[in-house]
Chain A
Amino acid sequence: MSLLEVNDLAVHFGGVKAVDGVSFSVDAGEVFAIIGPNGAGKSTIFNLISRIYEPTRGTIRFDGKDITDLKSHDIASLGIARTFQNIELFDHSTVLANLLMGRHTHRSTNFVQDILFLPKVRREERAHRKRVEEVIEFLELEAYRKKMIAGLPYGVRKVVEIGRALAIGPKIILLDEPASGLSVEETQDVAFWIEDMRRDMGLTVLMVEHDMSLVTQVSDRVLAVANGKPLAMGTAQEVQADPHVQAAYLGTPEEDAA
């Protein structure tokens, strides 16, 4: 059964059609990748799903529910987590605090209870912490627990952001270029984590990525987009062999001649 269904999605900024009629569906437990040249509208699709942008037309359904009209802060509690292309962490907090912030949707106390720090708050804190420790162990972040984000190297921040998304306890995780700026070894780690997320945590993964070796290695299906329009869908090999996709990346012979 498909977990996430995107149907004829489009968004126009002024006259620019950033996304124009994209449809796809992601099955539960699948690793689905979106590829395409720069400016193809890949991150925009993510921003539409996480409701940062208003779509001009089209619908997004998650778990059988229409989420097109929800607010961006209502998305996380449905079980949709995401990371950002340019890392949006809370720079002046520790890694631990950042991960704990990911547990926000699971809080049931209100601010009065928090101010009084009732026993219930402590019980919940312990539970949050336990869950976060599992994430820390999974991503091997033990050494950085009490470190400030501002002083961490890029690669670690990238991992912390994945961790914060995992702390939400999502059904689907949207990874926006998880391997950009990472070394070959770090990219390999990301590949293993994605496999583990799917196998051990039962997560569905939707990712935007340029690194074709990573895409080929982990993804079940690939959607190629260019200029906001879908080009081809299928396995990584099929998509790479598609003439339209090759044309989008390399240009067509006719264009070169002209």
Chain B
Amino acid sequence: MELLQLIIGGLANGCIYGLVALGFVLIYKASEGVNFAQGDMMMLGAFVVLGLGNSAQMGLPFLVAVPLGIAIMFGVGWGVERVVVRRIFGQPQFALVILTIAMGFVFRFVAGSIWGYTPLVLETPFGGQNLRTGGIVISLADLVTIGVTVVLTIALWAFFAFTKIGLAAQAASQNQMAAYIVGVPVMRVNSLIWGLSGAVATVAGVLYATRGAIDPNIGLLGIKAFAAAVIGGLGSLPGALIGGLIIGVVEPVAGRYAPGELAKMSPYIIMLLVLVTRPGGLFSQIQMKKV
């Protein structure tokens, strides 16, 4: 029973890792870049919604604050691409890694200056409510988290598989120049994808905030989410979710049966194991270059 309880909580946790990992995958799929500020975008998204919705702040109703927050963070993601990322267009991946790490610090500073460094709680309609079935207690927040994540993953997958823009984004990632030549507006697609990942990050942030207090340093969760994305194989949306779930479940279970330090290490040990055995992740897309 206890194990089952742990697993359900872990699944919900894993969904949040998975959602942040989706943000990584989105940008990776579109530009083969990695946005190390994704965790911090999640943090910022949560704070924006908190700023709009909490009664002590702007006091908008939850169902208004969330879409508005998502829209604002879409704008932030879009803006970041337009103002900063676009300028290093064509430079090696490494440049973007360092750039986004630095951007994460800036986001953290911005959030810290506005909302302070003491943990705050987001007011939600389903906070603190629990469902009881048998001997297990499931919080409503966990259920909402799992449901939203599943819907969002399917929607994003469909976006890349079926829409013109999604296909254009994939084309751009595989060969920027060729994509240009066949008429893909590479820059515009990139902006859109960054906006989209900002929006997804906000959803993740809100879900995270329904399950506990937030402070500007929760963005560090991005590292764990990144491990999830890598386990799944960076280019794969379902892979990201599965990676997130694996980490989400292993962590609390390891924490229950092993020393705390080992539990903290577990996501990274799993990731290293995956990388060593399958260097491109579980759903690898790496191919041999033709010479």
The reply, when asked whether chain A contacts chain B directly with Cβ atoms under 8 A, is yes
- B residues within 8 A CB of A52? 291
| Residues from 79 to 108 in A contacting B, C-beta threshold 8 Å | 84-86, 88
A33-66 CB contact bits vs B (8 Å, 1 = yes)?
0000000000100010000100000000000000
Among residues of A, the one whose C-beta sits closest to the C-beta of B291 is A84
Q: CA separation between A84 and B290, bound complex, in Å? A: 10
CB neighbours of A43 from chain B (8 A): 290-291
Q: Please, how many residues of chain A have a CB less than 8 angstroms from a CB on the other chain?
A: 7
Report A's interface with B, CB cutoff 8 A: 43, 47, 52, 84-86, 88
- Nearest B residue to A44 via CB reads B290
For the complex of A and B, list the 8 residue pairs with the smallest distance between their C-beta atoms, beginning with the closest: A84-B291, A88-B291, A47-B291, A86-B291, A52-B291, A85-B291, A43-B291, A43-B290
Give the complex CA separation of A175 and B290 in angstroms: 16
Alpha-carbon distance A13/B290, docked complex (angstroms): 13
When distances are taken between beta carbons in the complex, the residues of chain B under 8 Å from A88 are 291
Min distance, Cβ A40 to any Cβ of chain B, angstroms: 14
B-side interface residues, number (CB < 8 Å): 2
A88 CA to B289 CA in the complex, in Å?
Answer: 12
Note all chain A residues with C-beta closer than 8 A to B290: 43
Task: Determine the chain B residues whose CB is within 8 A of the CB of A86 once the complex forms.
Answer: 291
Residues of A within 8 Å of B291, CB to CB, are: 43, 47, 52, 84-86, 88
Interface string of B258-291 (1 = CB under 8 A from A): 0000000000000000000000000000000011
Q: A43-B291, A47-B291 are in contact. List 6 more A-B contacts (CB 8 A).
A: A43-B290, A52-B291, A84-B291, A85-B291, A86-B291, A88-B291
- Assembled-state Cα–Cα distance A2/B291 (Å): 27
The distance in angstroms between the C-alpha atoms of A52 and B288, with both chains bound, is 10
Measured in the bound complex, the distance between the Cα atoms of B290 and A52 in whole Å is: 10
The smallest beta-carbon distance between A145 and chain B, in angstroms, is 26
Nearest-neighbor residue (CB-CB) of A176 within chain B:
B291
For the complex, give the distance between the alpha carbons of A43 and B290 in Å.
9
Please report the C-alpha to C-alpha distance between residue A116 and residue B291 in the assembled complex, in whole angstroms. Answer: 37
Q: List 8 A-B contacts (CB under 8 A).
A: A43-B290, A43-B291, A47-B291, A52-B291, A84-B291, A85-B291, A86-B291, A88-B291
Within 8 A of A (CB), among B179-232: none
Alpha-carbon distance between A88 and B290 when the two chains are bound, in angstroms: 11
- Whole-angstrom CA separation of A85 from B291 in the bound complex: 7
Distance, CA A86 to CA B290, complexed state (A): 9
The 8 A CB mask of B88-129 against A (1 = contact, 0 = none) is 000000000000000000000000000000000000000000
Minimum CB–CB distance from B267 to chain A (whole Å) comes to 34
Could you tell me the distance in whole angstroms from the C-beta of B90 to the nearest C-beta in chain A?
A: 14
Q: How far is the CA of A39 from the CA of B291 in the complex (A)?
A: 13
- In the complex, what residue of chain B is closest to A46 when comparing beta carbons? B291
Give the complex CA separation of A93 and B290 in angstroms: 23
Q: Which residues of B contact A47 (CB under 8 A)?
A: 291
Complex: how many Å from CA A47 to CA B291? Answer: 8
* Least Cβ–Cβ distance between B286 and chain A, in angstroms: 15
**Distance in Å: Cβ of B94 to nearest Cβ of chain A:** 14
* Assembly CA distance A212 to B75 (angstroms): 58
Q: How many Å lie between the Cα of A4 and that of B290 in the bound state?
A: 24
Taking the closest CB of chain A, its distance from the CB of B291, in whole angstroms, is 5
Alpha-carbon distance A86/B291, docked complex (angstroms): 7
Which residues of B58-91 are within 8 A (CB) of A?
Answer: none
Chain B residues whose C-beta falls within 8 Å of the C-beta of A85 in the assembled complex: 291
B92 CB → nearest A CB, Å: 12
Bound together, the chains give a CA A62 to CA B139 distance in angstroms of 70
**A47–B290 Cα gap in the complex (Å)?**
10
Q: Using CB atoms, name the residue of chain B closest to A50.
A: B291
> Complex formed: what's the CA distance from A84 to B291 in Å?
6
Q: Whole-angstrom distance from the CB of B51 to the nearest CB of chain A?
A: 47
In B126-180, the 8 Å CB interface with A consists of none
The distance in angstroms between the C-alpha atoms of A157 and B290, with both chains bound, is 19
Among residues of B, the one whose C-beta sits closest to the C-beta of A84 is B291
Closest B-chain residue to A86, C-beta based?
Answer: B291
A43–B289 CA distance with the chains assembled, in angstroms? 13
Give the nearest-CB partner of A47 in chain B.
Answer: B291
Least CB distance, A38 to chain B, in whole angstroms: 13
Residue of B nearest to A88 (CB): B291
CB distance from A244 to the nearest CB of B (A): 27
Taken together as a complex, chains A and B put the C-alpha atoms of A52 and B291 apart, in Å, by 9
CA distance A43 to B191 in the complex (A): 40
